Amino acid sequence: MSESAKLVLGGETIELPIIVGTENEKAIDIRALRGQTGFITYDPGYKNTGATESAITFLDGEKGILRYRGYSIEELCENASFLEVAYLILEGELPNKEQYAAFEKEITYHTLIHEDVKHVFDAFPNGAHPMGQLQIILSMMAGFYPDSLNPHRSKEDVKRTIVRLIAKMPTMVAMIQKKNNGHPLVYPKNELGYVENFLRMTFGQVTEDYEIDPVFVKAMNKLLILHADHEQNCSASTVRLVGSSNANLYASISAGVAALWGPLHGGANQKVLEMLEAIKEDGGDTDKWLAKAKDKNDPFRLMGFGHRVYKNFDPRALIIKQSADEILDKLGIEDPVLEIAKKLEEKALKDPYFADRKLFPNVDFYSGIIYRAMGFPVEMFTVLFALGRLPGWISQWKEMRETKQPIGRPRQVYTGKNARDFVAMNKR
């Protein structure tokens, strides 16, 4: 008989099955608990709740391990292209040459965005945040592709929607940056690779040829791979929750973008850079800012520090920190903000406040420094995170549908008033 857990409740012993994952992760299956006992489990923020079984991403927060479909992010970053990783995450296996060529061709074929999408930019005020713009454009896509509205359609139809989305996302992101700069749009050039095409559309000008810098391509590729998936985080769970109601893929991904925007999640990369700039402007006194972060009467938190699941180090942060050094070096940029970041990290790691709470730099701590060195405006940072995370969100949505997950609907413990009689307004 497989392992089970015993719960003693009101003198009665209830047996609950145990689920064991392929990496020996263990969960108590409490699905029958309410039916048998009337009890629910209580876990605000789902800190210790497994919402699903999943075969996409494995991470071990204690050991600092992150793997997509069994492959370590360290190896993928060194050896694979982002599109190859996107295929891996979506399909479960690395593509062979033919599979990759077919996938790349399909993606390339769908990079254009309907010309009418451009009109939506007229409605945004100057300087509207790129994440809000991305959310709107993504939701609009369902209007242009009504065949995506019903997620129960054939596998081929769903695949076409997925391909369209991956293909058009770099065009959308580049469009947002161009519009915010007031520059004319640069259309995709389909003989270029995914990352090269994106960089050209973002930084190239319609009036001249754009020389693609291999240093930029390598850095962008690495950053996108590092962000490609992160199992059941806030935005991926949002995508799953929205998708569980049979909402279409575009709407579900747009909801993921909304969740990512928050500064406690993907929005942290923008906030980190703003924080580092503020420390620089303030004279560079890192001790003063660390004291602010520790002060419980001050709402300030050290942005880019701490993580819900990584409690020793974030393996993505290690790779990014090294890349930041390499890229700035290769581009010949001396960024005082990188020095402040390093000083802040060094001091925080020695400080008992951060050590006791297991707070370490996360993926966002150094990524903004690289994005800025490449020339991206700070408001674009979280959009770049979304570009990388897209294959992960889609795979989470796809897995949720293929494994026929029920609609997501948590319970609550009600703490409001008991039933009472209505009192007419003139008697209140």
* Segment interacting with ligand ACO (CB under 6 A) among 60-68, 71-79, 130-138, 306-314: 306-314
Residue 268 in the binding site for ligand ACO (CB under 6 A): yes
**Token pair of 276, please?**
């580092």
Q: Are strands 12-20 and 4-9 parallel, antiparallel or unpaired?
A: antiparallel
Amino acid at 374: M
357 binds ligand ACO (CB under 6 A): yes
Q: How far is the CB of 276 from ligand ACO (least distance, A)?
A: 13
195 belongs to the binding site for ligand ACO (CB under 6 A)? no
Active site residue 364: yes
- Of the candidates 395, 311, 308, the one whose C-alpha atom is nearest the C-alpha of residue 65 is 311
Query: Which of 293, 369, 383, 400 contacts ligand ACO by CB under 6 A?
Result: 293
Four-residue CA torsion sign, 164, 94, 199, 258: positive
Instruction: Give yes or no for a contact between 144 and 114, defined as CB atoms under 8 angstroms apart.
Output: yes
- Exactly one of 176, 359, 370, 384 binds ligand ACO (CB under 6 A); that residue is 359
Check residue 170 for interaction with ligand ACO (CB under 6 A): no
239 or 359: CB nearest ligand ACO? 359
User: Would you count residue 256 as binding ligand ACO (CB under 6 A)?
Assistant: no
Residue 164 in contact with ligand ACO, rule: CB under 6 A: no
- Tell me, by CB under 6 A, how many residues bind ligand ACO: 18
Q: Could you say whether residue 228 binds ligand ACO (CB under 6 A)?
A: no
Residue type at position 151: P
Residue 196 or 364: the one with the smaller Cβ distance to ligand ACO is: 364
Interatomic CA distance for residues 125 and 161, integer angstroms: 30
Residue 266 near ligand ACO by CB under 6 A: yes
- Residue 308: CB partners within 8 Å, gap ≥ 6? 47, 233
State the nearest-atom distance from the C-beta of 280 to ligand ACO, in Å. 19
Q: Is 302 in the site for ligand ACO (CB under 6 A)?
A: yes
**Interacting residues of 15 by C-beta distance below 8 A, sequence separation 6+:** 4, 5, 6, 7
Q: Note whether 306 binds ligand ACO by CB under 6 A.
A: yes
Whole-number CA gyration radius for the chain = 23
Of the candidates 129, 227, 265, 307, the residue annotated as catalytic is 307
Please tell me the distance from the alpha carbon of residue 407 to that of residue 243, in angstroms, as a whole number. Answer: 8
Distance, in Å, from the CA atom of 206 to the CA atom of 195, rounded to the nearest integer, reads 18
Distance CA(228)–CA(169), nearest Å, equals: 14
Interaction between residue 369 and ligand ACO (CB under 6 A): no
**Among residues 55, 264, 278, 355, the one that binds ligand ACO under rule CB under 6 A:** 264
Q: Give the E-state strand segments of 139-277 in sequence order.
A: none
Report how far Cα 116 is from the mean position of its chain's Cα atoms: 28
The yes or no reply on residue 307 touching ligand ACO (CB under 6 A) is yes
- Output the smallest distance, CB 385 to ligand ACO, in A: 7
Active site residue 157: no
Residues of this chain that interact with ligand ACO (CB under 6 A) are: 264-266, 268, 293, 301-308, 357, 359, 362-364
